[in-house]
Structure 1
Amino acid sequence: MSQTRTEKSLLPLDAADLQLFKYQLKTKAQSLSFGRRLYQCNAAEDVADEKQFWLKAQLTNSSGFSSEGFLQELRCYRIMHAQQMQIMLPFQIISNLHIQQGSEHLNFTEVLLLPHAPAFFQQDPLLLTLPQVKHWLWQAIDALDQLEQAGWMHGDIKTEHFVMYEGQLKILDFEQARQIIAPAHVMNATPRYMAPELFQGQPKDIASEIYALGIVFYEWLSGQRLKASSYQDWAVLHCQQLKIELPAVFNAFLPLLLGMLAKHKTARMQSFLALKRCLITEIA
């Protein structure tokens, strides 16, 4: 493996060390056909979590459509770093990288290297005090509020995109991120987190972001994953059937969730700042 140019590193890592790494392909089968490659990698002499990394890349001969999301993510990392946003993991973008993976020799124009970080919402809320649960929710809201205040929306909010790194919440996956003032061209969303209006063909906006985060919070606090077997079933669930019920110990957070998960977007809380105010004023 070799590389010819590395941008200023934001990781405590010498890019030359990548030549000594061991790589394990983690790309889902569905994504392989679109040229996406995701590797979990670590230094050969140390496999501790703090020495593990994730390498994300797109094959150079893949279609324009499948490449656009990856290129958009690279753009977002560069721009948000320039804006000095603190919600991203430290990262490294490396150009002209060549990987020998078994008998396969892969060439990548650019790759994104991120450190390993555990899931933020893997913490059982029942093992936390109510002030701690409140702080957990606050961290997620605050991160997305920072995005909104900087003029961005994430576009793909889901549980697995929140991680913990060095004691702070960070957000992953900016492939669908866009500036709020930019028009939305492609409707690409995960049905589990889709606001009712998205099933009706409306574009993503801050209201749909708030709804998606509400689903993240609801599943975490309830300890249950929403279930549906098809896109149509998800549409019926979100547009008609979803009822918000929490364990009694978390009922203090019910007004917040009801404000986030209102079926009609006009009845929903309209900003992440509004969510923060709700946490401060209504939840002691």
Structure 2
Amino acid sequence: MFSGALGLQSSGRCIRSDAQRGRWLYYVEHQQEAYWLKLQQSIGDLQSETAFLHELAFYQKMQQAVDLHHKLIERDKLSVCLPFDILDVASINDAPANSISQVLCIRDSQTLFSTSEDLSLSDQIHRLILSLTVLERLYGCGYLHGDLKNTHFRLHQNQCYLIDFEQSVNIDAARAVEQTATPRYMAPELFHAQPKSVQSDIYALGVIWLQWLNQQRWFNRSYLDWAYWHCQQLEVELVDRFSMLKPILMRMLAKKKSNRYAAIEEIKLDLARIV
């Protein structure tokens, strides 16, 4: 993708996104295109290093699947992963010392769930459908995301993509994986050490929808406070404009997993009936 070193000292800016975790981000403009580069140091936080290597492996698996079955799943890959490349750290002129040898490079994009004030009702519903579709295709590739947040849904050239697969896991292997996620979006069962599932992803998506439709972000809480909030306190209330979506949100955010949607297709069908 790039010829020679990127020359970030003159063409990009570096953001030390998390010094304690050794995580670095670069924003680069190159030949009328923009990219984010994600680097990880191999010192400091072993968990973050492992997560970064896990994410690199995920992207490599997705690329290998496309190479092997191009005609079958190219359309799915295009709507799952934001277009990416894996670079050698040597191509980064001012990469920090002790960096992992590979760098994740993804094209610039905007948040799917940005402010909705300038969007028509049909455009807002369309964005809900885009988020369902990209998740459905991810599951079709055999993976859970495992740590969905509003910023993980991206728009690039009118396509919807996902980013940040540090906690992605094969659906069949989810039971054996440590249950870590962002408490703001965690399904109640995850606070009780139950395995991640399609339904825990659906719950996280419901949290994203609820906050976006209401244009509200819940205030920060401690881990225990989030556990209490999700397991007992959370109630589904929507502004009048979206009141017709309340039955769907209530089922997406059902506290008992058995009462929640089991598949994305079920949500799509209910959404089609209502709107």
Distance across 2 between alignment mates of 1:135 and 1:260: 18
Q: Deviations over 1:84-116 (max 9, x none)?
A: 3122121111124264549x6565410011111
Amino acid at match of 2:250: L
Amino acid at match of 1:70: F
Distance across 1 between alignment mates of 2:227 and 2:16: 28
Q: Deviations over 1:224-273 (max 9, x none)?
A: 11224311111111111111111111111111111100011100011111
Q: Mean Cα displacement is larger for which, 18-27 or 69-78?
A: 18-27
**Aligned to 2:4, what secondary structure does the other structure show?**
helix
Amino acid at match of 1:254: K
1:111 correspondence with 2:98 = no
Q: Mean Cα displacement is larger for which, 62-71 or 247-256?
A: 62-71
Distance across 2 between alignment mates of 1:98 and 1:17: 4
Partner of 2:219: 227
Partner of 1:40: 27
Partner of 1:80: 62
Unaligned runs of 5+ in 1: 1-12
Amino acid at match of 2:53: L
Compute the displacement of 1:79 (Å): 1.6
**Aligned to 1:157, what secondary structure does the other structure show?**
coil
In the alignment of these two chains, the number of paired residues is 262
Distance across 2 between alignment mates of 1:57 and 1:238: 33
Amino acid at match of 2:146: G
Mapping 1:246-265, distance limit 5 Å:
246-265=238-257
1:159 correspondence with 2:150 = yes
Compute the displacement of 1:54 (Å): 0.8
Percent identical pairs in the alignment equals: 36
Partner of 1:170: 161
Distance across 2 between alignment mates of 1:61 and 1:203: 30
**Aligned to 1:88, what secondary structure does the other structure show?**
coil
Using the size of structure 1 for normalisation, the TM-score is 0.85
Q: Deviations over 1:4-49 (max 9, x none)?
A: xxxxxxxxx4242513653423233xx3233222222224xx7xxx
Unaligned runs of 5+ in 2: 67-73
Mapping 1:45-64, distance limit 5 Å:
51-61=33-43, 64=46
Partner of 2:198: 206
Q: Is the 8 A contact 1:23 1:101 kept in 2?
A: no
1:24 correspondence with 2:13 = yes
User: Aligned in 2, Cα 1:36/1:128: closer, same or farther, shift over 3 Å?
Assistant: closer
Compute the displacement of 1:66 (Å): 2.4
Q: Is the 8 A contact 1:98 1:108 kept in 2?
A: no
Residue 141 of structure 2, aligned match among 150, 166, 179:
150
